[in-house]
Amino acid sequence: MAKYENLIPRFLKYVKINTRSNPDSTTIPSDPRLTEFANGLVADLKAIGLKNVHINPQSSYVFATLPANTDKTVQKLGFISHFDTADFNSEHITPKFVENYDGQSVIKLDDAGKYTLDPAVFPNLKNYKGHTLITTDGSTLLGADDKSGVAEIMAAAEYLLAHPEIKHGEIEIGLGPDEEIGTGADHFDVKDFGADIAYTVDGGPLGQLEYETFNAADAQVEITGTNVHPAEAKGVMVNASQVAMDFHAALPDHDRPENTEGREGFFHLYSMTGTVDSAHLSYIIRDHDRQVFEDRKKLFQGVADQLNKQYGSERVQVTIKDQYYNMREVIEKDMTVVDLAKEALEDLDIKPLIFPVRGGTDGSKISFMGLPTPNLFAGGENMHGRFEYVSEQTMEKATDVIIKIAELTESKA
């Protein structure tokens, strides 16, 4: 029998429920189906035997507590994941299984074989020789991001309740909506959650441990032109679309997502519309280094200032909004939370894979609310689309890691 009896069954039950979040919504959560799913989680968490199970009213996170079983004073650990899924078809998700994968075959997702998982395209498949893989049928995403995290956290809690010989402090569980639309953690209630240090279990392959993310801002550029008949345009027309192109051309050529990697930041133009009369450019600005990030925003504003000076009027208006910051700024003040996870991985013979994330996590926001929250692997690969898959064995290892962190925290107290 599997070590975590309910891990995979619970995962399968959850992925079959459509929990796609809605980027166009302004409600919390973004869709009523997320409330319905949260209610189901409340019932399941209570059934496991967890305490203080409730939905936090300001964030719609489901919170639960696993009480301590030790007399020592131990730091309260938190484990967090999200149950909404990304912007891709998530109706009628039908998980498929590949038992004992050989690490080299092409896996057909749909019966006709239009969509496949091919190691030539997805080389990580080679890491899964001997594993049981759970895939999609090619028509939907899978939702391992992040229902694998949800199922792992719940399996770890269930295991600890069934094994009182493993001593641990109080453990807080937080399962939230709307991570995929970037708003889930905005209203996270650190006080109600009650943890001293926490982890999101929302990373990818085995061993991933992330405590460095981008600093992030959204930047909108509104350009106003002067539209006159082209025949009489000389010296009068200001073509907003032309000004938009000049604006973009004034940004550093190299600093685009397609030219950068590792710790290199960028300006990413993700949408543009324009006529002679008006034009609009939408960017995201990213950098791991806070100072360089601030400099990038200044440079961006400076391009607008320069163009306005050139035209002698306010043609270009820039609105920059910070989205989240590099959690490293918070975490490096006390590396305990990272060191614990590293030690847990090493104790379990899992090689820690520590790289700066070229993105953000819910922990980027939560860390700045005063709760240091790096990100642990949950197992998913090729997230956010039809090629998503996860290994059962990796999900078991992720569950092992959660339990090991709890154990280590108690033993060091």
Q: Which residues are annotated as a binding site for Zn(2+)?
A: 82, 145, 180, 202, 384
Cα-atom radius of gyration of the chain, to the nearest Å?
24
Stretch that binds Zn ion, among 35-43, 137-145, 309-317, 363-371 (CB under 5 A): 137-145
Q: By C-alpha distance, which of 168, 157, 143, 200 is closest to 337?
A: 200
The residues carrying an active-site annotation are 84, 179
**d(C-alpha 82, C-alpha 310), whole Å:** 48
Q: Toward Zn ion, which CB reaches closer, 54 or 384?
A: 384
Residue 84 binds Zn ion (CB under 5 A): no
To Zn ion, the closest distance from the beta carbon of 93 in angstroms equals 16
Residue 83 or 193 having the CB closest to Zn ion: 83
Tokens of 338: 């990272």
Closest to 79 measured CA to CA, from 402, 413, 346: 402
- Among left, alpha and beta (phi > 0; psi -120 to 50; other), residue 178 is left
Nearer Cβ to Zn ion, position 203 or 265?
203
- State in angstroms the smallest separation of the CB of 84 from Zn ion: 9
Would you count residue 170 as binding Zn ion (CB under 5 A)?
A: no
- Least distance in Å: CB of 126 to Zn ion? 24
146-165 binders of Zn ion (CB under 5 A): 146
Q: Which stretch binds Zn ion (CB under 5 A): 138-146, 184-192, 249-257, 267-275?
A: 138-146
Q: Identify the residue among 84, 202, 212, 388 touching Zn ion (CB under 5 A).
A: 202
Whether the bond between 349 and the residue before it is cis, its omega within 30 degrees of 0, is: no
C-alpha dist (Å) from residue 195 to 41, 68, 224, 391: 20, 12, 50, 29
Residues from 302 through 341 that contact Zn ion (CB under 5 A): none
Residue 9 vs 359, nearer CB to Zn ion: 359
Span near Zn ion by CB under 5 A; candidates 7-15, 144-152, 263-271, 326-334: 144-152
Distances (CA, A) of 297 to 151, 286, 309: 40, 10, 18
Least Å distance, CB 303 to Zn ion, is 34
Tell me how far, at minimum, the Cβ of 297 lies from Zn ion, in Å. Answer: 27
Of 22-30, 194-202, 230-238, 339-347, which segment contacts Zn ion by CB under 5 A? 194-202
Burial class (CB in 10 A: 0-12, 13-18, 19+), 400: buried
Nearest partner of 362 among 141, 194, 193, 178, judged by Cα: 178
Biggest alpha carbon–alpha carbon distance for the chain: 87
- Asked whether position 145 contacts Zn ion by CB under 5 A, the answer is yes
Rounded distance between C-alpha atoms, residue 92 and residue 141, angstroms:
10
Q: Minimal distance in Å, beta carbon 110 to Zn ion?
A: 25
Q: What is the size of the binding site for Zn ion (CB under 5 A)? A: 3
Assess contact for 335 and 162: CB atoms under 8 A. no
* Span near Zn ion by CB under 5 A; candidates 164-172, 197-205, 257-265, 386-394: 197-205
167, 240, 209, 254: which is closest to 356 by C-alpha? 209
- Matching residue, tokens 């719940």: 154
Closest approach, Cβ 150 to Zn ion, in A, equals 10
Full DSSP string of 211-253? ----EEEEEEEEEE-B---GGG-TTT-B-HHHHHHHHHHTS-T
In this complex, which beta carbon is closest to Zn ion, that of residue 146 or of residue 172?
A: 146
- The angle at the Cα of 281, spanning 275 to 284, to the nearest 5 degrees, equals 170
Interactions with Zn ion, residue window 356-375 (CB under 5 A): none
- Total Cβ atoms within 10 A of residue 201: 25
CB closer to Zn ion out of 255 and 388: 388
170/362 with CB nearer Zn ion: 362
Binding residues: 82, 145, 180, 202, 384
Q: What is the DSSP string of 136-197?
A: --SSS---HHHHHHHHHHHHHHHHHHH-TTS----EEEEEES-TTTT-TTTT--HHHH--SE
Residue ranges that bind Zn ion, judged by CB under 5 A: 145-146, 202
